[in-house]
């Protein structure tokens, strides 16, 4: 009986402690980001014997992305999802992705790199990202990002982003958590 009572008290203490621990987390921020352009095109190399490539290696691409509401409405083919959430201003800025990829002959494969999400001249997020799936023929992708805040109100905070793009979609739809 004593063990059961101690276990119940432990579970209750844990249940009350978890909401307190999560109070520092700002969640969720959602929206879409889209490719603005290339700052630096990738260096490409095709590996494999014969006329058919076995692997396509892309390195050192630098891309500029921005939230969907940065784009002029006449530029867009549909209505993208703007940044939303009580703390969405903590992600309102441009993103520079440093990109490396390994593709198969169908232009599918993993990509990875680092990012810098500029909020102002004195505040930004920086970290790493990975995409286990990037399909260059359909624009389908999955992406995770983990970073930390530098300067201003985000200094020392942590950013986690999970996103995807559906086939034919030029924007990455994401949800972010800030702690």
- pLDDT tens readout for residues 35-71: 999 999 999 988 877 777 688 899 999 999 999 888 7
Confirm whether 33 is domain-assigned. yes
**Please, are residues 31 and 174 in contact by the beta-carbon 8 Å criterion?**
yes
What pLDDT shows up at residue 76? 54
Does residue 17 sit within a domain? no
Q: Is 80 or 76 the better-scoring residue by pLDDT?
A: 80
Q: Can you read off the two tokens belonging to residue 21?
A: 């621990």
Domain of 45, CATH number, reads 2.40.350.10
Within-domain flag for 107:
yes
Query: Could you check whether the bond before residue 153 is cis, i.e. omega within 30 degrees of 0?
Result: no
Q: Mean pLDDT over residues 25-41, rounded? A: 88
Residues contacting 33, CB < 8 A, separation 6+: 65, 66, 67, 68, 95, 163, 171, 172, 174
Residue 8 falls inside a structural domain: no
Q: Is residue 163 situated within a structural domain?
A: yes
What mean pLDDT is predicted for residues 127-133? 96
Q: pTM for the full model?
A: 0.80
Q: Count Cβ atoms within 10 A of the Cβ of residue 165 and give its class: 0-12 exposed, 13-18 middle, 19 or more buried.
A: buried
- Alpha-carbon distance 45 to 48, whole Å? 10
Of 135, 130, 131, which is closest to residue 166 (Cα–Cα)?
Answer: 135
Q: Give the span between the Cα atoms of 71 and 55, in whole angstroms.
A: 34
How many structural domains are present in the chain? 1
Q: Is residue 20 part of a domain?
A: no
Residue 130: which domain range? 26-178
Q: Which residue has the higher pLDDT, 73 or 29?
A: 29
Within-domain flag for 162: yes
Please, what sign has the CA dihedral across residues 82, 88, 94, 95? negative
103 has pLDDT over 90: yes
Distance CA 58, CA 97 (A): 14
Which token pair is 85?
A: 């959430």
Q: Is residue 9 part of a domain?
A: no
């Amino acid at each position: 009986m004593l063990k059961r009572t101690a276990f119940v008290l432990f579970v209750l203490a844990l249940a009350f402690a978890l909401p307190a621990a999560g109070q520092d987390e700002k969640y969720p921020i959602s929206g879409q980001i889209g490719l603005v352009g290339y700052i630096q095109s990738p260096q490409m190399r095709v590996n494999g014997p014969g006329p058919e490539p076995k692997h396509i290696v892309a390195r050192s691409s630098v891309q500029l992305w921005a939230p969907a509401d940065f784009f002029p409405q006449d530029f867009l083919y549909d209505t993208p999802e703007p940044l939303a959430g009580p703390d969405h201003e903590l992600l309102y800025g441009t993103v520079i992705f440093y990109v490396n990829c390994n593709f198969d002959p169908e232009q599918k494969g993993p990509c990875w790199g680092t990012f810098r999400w500029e909020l102002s001249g004195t505040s930004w997020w920086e970290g790493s990202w990975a995409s286990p799936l990037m399909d260059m023929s359909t624009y389908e992708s999955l992406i995770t990002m983990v970073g930390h805040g530098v300067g201003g109100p985000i200094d020392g905070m942590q950013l986690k982003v999970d996103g995807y793009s559906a086939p034919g979609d030029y924007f990455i739809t994401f949800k972010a958590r800030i702690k």
